[in-house]
Amino acid sequence: LSSVVWAYSENEAVSDEVASAAAEVAKAISGEPVVLEVGAERGGTKAPGKKLVVKGPPQDSPPGVVSEALGRVAKEIRPAVVLIGATRNGREVASSLAAKLKVGCLSEVAKLASDGKTVTGERVVYAGKVVAKVSAGLPAVVTVKIGSYPRTTSPPVGSEVKDVGEVDSKLKVLKREKKEAGSVDLKSAKIIVSAGRGVRKKEDLGMIEDLAKAMHGALGCSRPLSSDLGWLPEEHHIGLTGVTVKPDLYLALGISGQLQHTAGMKDSKVVAAVNTDKDAPIFQASDYGIVGDLYQLVPAIRKALASQG
């Protein structure tokens, strides 16, 4: 086993974060951090040490191909730790790479450390209620929680190329189409008006969208409205399995406030909620609460805003 610590992400910004994590782990084991690129050199890649370009498959290959390519080089170099950015792609690459190498895999980890025998870190579980300490014996594959490390800014000190040749894939990419830009950008919205199952029918979302517009805010929702009922596109859904938001004001309308929802909005600056049930858990996560019917309150708030011009 070498003392090399790999950092990889298909996303450049995430790669810079993972590179910082690799530098930290490498320092702990007196090893060497190496930033990986698959397919072709990216140009602007940052690395706290060397970079390694894995040639063979194209740059935008599916996760299965990337993990096969990384696996071939890993069998030769035998890195102590492989750190991969926990993007959707990265999670797939990591699990498949760990299986190929028959090593342990830790997911969504921050605060990494190593004593040369194991790699340890912290992982948020139960919708943010608990921080679990996790560890795996070396060698190991770890996905690094996005946003948990600063981006490295140093240019690489050298670069190496490994050609792994062609990688077969059962998945053939025939065509790529750009996903249409989402109609909402909840992550940067200062005000979010969010609708839940308290809304009785799809058409009623109109008045809530109208209120959101009048407040110069964005429209969010709980998961049932997007995933179960399909009333709104997925990008509106806030929570554990949706978007995590931190607006200045989060107005929850007819949302009960289950853990899976509050996990995505609990860091909002001010939370206000309207709910007919005085015992709804959302009130525990709120700075202001109104026990009342959203069908009365939404038009009333809208009217009050209109009268202010």
Ligand X SMILES: Cc1cc2nc3c(=O)[nH]c(=O)nc-3n(C[C@H](O)[C@H](O)[C@H](O)COP(=O)(O)OP(=O)(O)OC[C@H]3O[C@@H](n4cnc5c(N)ncnc54)[C@H](O)[C@@H]3O)c2cc1C
> For 142-161, b where at least 16 C-beta lie within 10 A, e where not — what string?
bbbbbebbeebeeebeeeee
Candidates 293, 299, 300, 305; binder of ligand X (CB under 6 A) is 293
User: Which range binds ligand X by CB under 6 A, 8-16, 62-70, 118-126, 221-229?
Assistant: 221-229
Candidates 134, 151, 258, 267; binder of ligand X (CB under 6 A) is 258
Contact between 302 and ligand X per CB under 6 A: no
Nearest to 265 by CA among 284, 289, 246: 246
Of 84 and 193, the one with the shorter C-beta distance to ligand X is 193
Nearest to 36 by CA among 3, 92, 78, 82: 82
Distance of closest approach, residue 212 Cβ to ligand X, in angstroms: 16
Of 163 and 293, the one with the shorter C-beta distance to ligand X is 293
Of 15 and 275, the one with the shorter C-beta distance to ligand X is 275
Of 64 and 128, the one with the shorter C-beta distance to ligand X is 128
Name the token pair of 307.
Answer: 């009268």
The residue number with the shortest CB distance to ligand X is 239
Of 98 and 280, the one with the shorter C-beta distance to ligand X is 280
Distance of closest approach, residue 272 Cβ to ligand X, in angstroms: 13
Contact between 289 and ligand X per CB under 6 A: no
Of 241 and 284, the one with the shorter C-beta distance to ligand X is 241
Contact between 220 and ligand X per CB under 6 A: no
Contact between 256 and ligand X per CB under 6 A: yes
Candidates 62, 64, 104, 224; binder of ligand X (CB under 6 A) is 224
Contact between 295 and ligand X per CB under 6 A: yes
Distance of closest approach, residue 86 Cβ to ligand X, in angstroms: 17
Contact between 239 and ligand X per CB under 6 A: yes
Contact between 64 and ligand X per CB under 6 A: no
User: Which range binds ligand X by CB under 6 A, 20-28, 76-84, 105-113, 195-203?
Assistant: 195-203
C-alpha distances in Å from residue 133, one per residue of 104, 162, 210, 240, 254: 15, 35, 45, 20, 36
User: Which range binds ligand X by CB under 6 A, 90-98, 148-156, 201-209, 256-264?
Assistant: 256-264
Of 117 and 303, the one with the shorter C-beta distance to ligand X is 303
Distance of closest approach, residue 165 Cβ to ligand X, in angstroms: 41
The residues binding ligand X (CB under 6 A) are: 196-198, 222-224, 237, 239-242, 254-256, 258, 260-261, 264, 274-277, 280, 293-295
